Amino acid sequence: MKIDLHCHYFAEEFITYRQKMDSRFQLITDAQGRKGWSFRGSAFPLLTPEERLAEMDSMGVDVEVLSMPSTNDVLGPDPEGIAVARACNDVLAGMAKTYPERFKSLAVIPLENVDAAIKELGRAIDELGMNGVCIGSNIRGKVLNSPEFMPFYEEMDRRGLTLVLHPGEPAGKEVMGEFNLIPLVGYPFETTLAAVRMTFSGIFEKYPNMKLVLPHLGGALPYLFHRIDYGYTEKPGTGELISKPPSEFFKHFYYDTAIAYHQPMLKCSYDTVGADQIVFGTDHPFGLKTGFAAKSIDAIEKFPFTPEEREKVYCTNTQKLLVN
């Protein structure tokens, strides 16, 4: 069985909300009258669940864990932002309820309003039966170790939930407009920066029951393990909030294979954290022209995993991460 932990489904309510503040994001209608959405010059149809299932079957994917990326770039703390988060969760959870053997879902959380975030977390998990949470790597520019977010992490820890940390608009994006560098370079380093910042701030020491998933094999994190440990041991003002080297926390994160089919990259991650911490992801529906899903599967098939390790990557590691 192949469970895709990194794939996206956009609710129309979110597209409508986001295009108010970002002209690059548009709700569109094609010549046949079908609704869709566009972003940075790429267009995608708003598929029905049945159409989405057909795509999954064509890719050889058995289960998709649906999420909405980068919602925290734009979801405000106001009633409208909170309402949009709720509407998105209703859509994602509704698909999983209709097709429980094929879809799981990760909750959208309006984290800038922490009280509302904790309330929506409870509704998403307890009432809607969602399986974890996906947030952005920053919350409308606020770093994830901001003190105001700690009650949310405390609740995530109390429930033993999984947090998927999806890259959003990166720090320094003003120098990345040329050559489409935000997704190509900014996203993986934004993931790396957010994970390291959270670790040094002591979040994973204080809340050890909250599990973290990093997309794209963790950005640059596996490559930088020892360099970051060097800061802990030799740079004053770096590691005072944690009791052990940061790599000891990094080894317990999970790393997905979306857009990470370069064999040396996969080998670096495998040699650094092992098959127990790698999970299958495709970034679907992004990369349809490039064939992200097929290339992710091909990379896993070609890598010298044992059969037991390959099953962990495709399926059992992810099963352990999902509640409900």
Q: Which of 281, 23, 36, 299 is closest to 167 using CA atoms? A: 281
Instruction: Decide: helix, strand or coil at residue 284.
Output: strand
For residue 198, what pLDDT is reported?
A: 98
Confidence check: pLDDT of 173 > 90: no
Query: What are 278-292's pLDDT values in tens digits?
Result: 999 999 988 777 788
Name the strand (E) or helix (H) holding 273: helix 263-273
pLDDT: which is higher, 70 or 217: 217
Which pair of tokens denotes residue 122? 């409870």
Query: What are 127-149's pLDDT values in tens digits?
Result: 999 999 999 999 998 999 999 99
Confidence check: pLDDT of 86 > 90: yes
Which pair of tokens denotes residue 124? 């998403």
Q: Rounded to an integer, what distance in angstroms lies between the CA atom of residue 254 and that of residue 211?
A: 8
Confidence check: pLDDT of 2 > 90: yes
Query: What are 27-66's pLDDT values in tens digits?
Result: 888 777 788 878 766 778 888 899 999 999 999 999 999 9
Which pair of tokens denotes residue 147? 């003190």
State what percent of residues in the chain have pLDDT above 70.
99
pLDDT: which is higher, 258 or 287: 258
Confidence check: pLDDT of 167 > 80: yes
Half-sphere exposure of 262 toward its Cβ, with a 13 Å CA cutoff?
9
Confidence check: pLDDT of 182 > 90: no
C-alpha 112 chain-centroid distance: 18
Q: Rounded to an integer, what distance in angstroms lies between the CA atom of residue 136 and that of residue 143?
A: 10
Q: Which of 156, 72, 153 is closest to 111 using CA atoms? A: 72
285 preceded by cis ω (within 30°)? yes
On whether the pTM is more than 0.85, the answer is yes
Stretch 141-165: mean pLDDT: 97
For residue 23, what pLDDT is reported?
A: 72
AA letter at 195? A
Kindly list the distances between the CA atom of residue 213 and the CA atoms of 20, 195, 281, 286, 308, in Å, as whole numbers in the listed order: 30, 10, 11, 19, 21
For residue 275, what pLDDT is reported?
A: 98
Pairing of strands 25-29, 35-39: antiparallel
| Relative orientation angle of helices 292-302 and 263-273, to the nearest 10 degrees | 60
For residue 163, what pLDDT is reported?
A: 98
Confidence check: pLDDT of 179 > 80: yes
Q: In sequence order, which ranges of 99-202 are alpha helices (DSSP H)? A: 114-122, 150-159, 181, 187-200
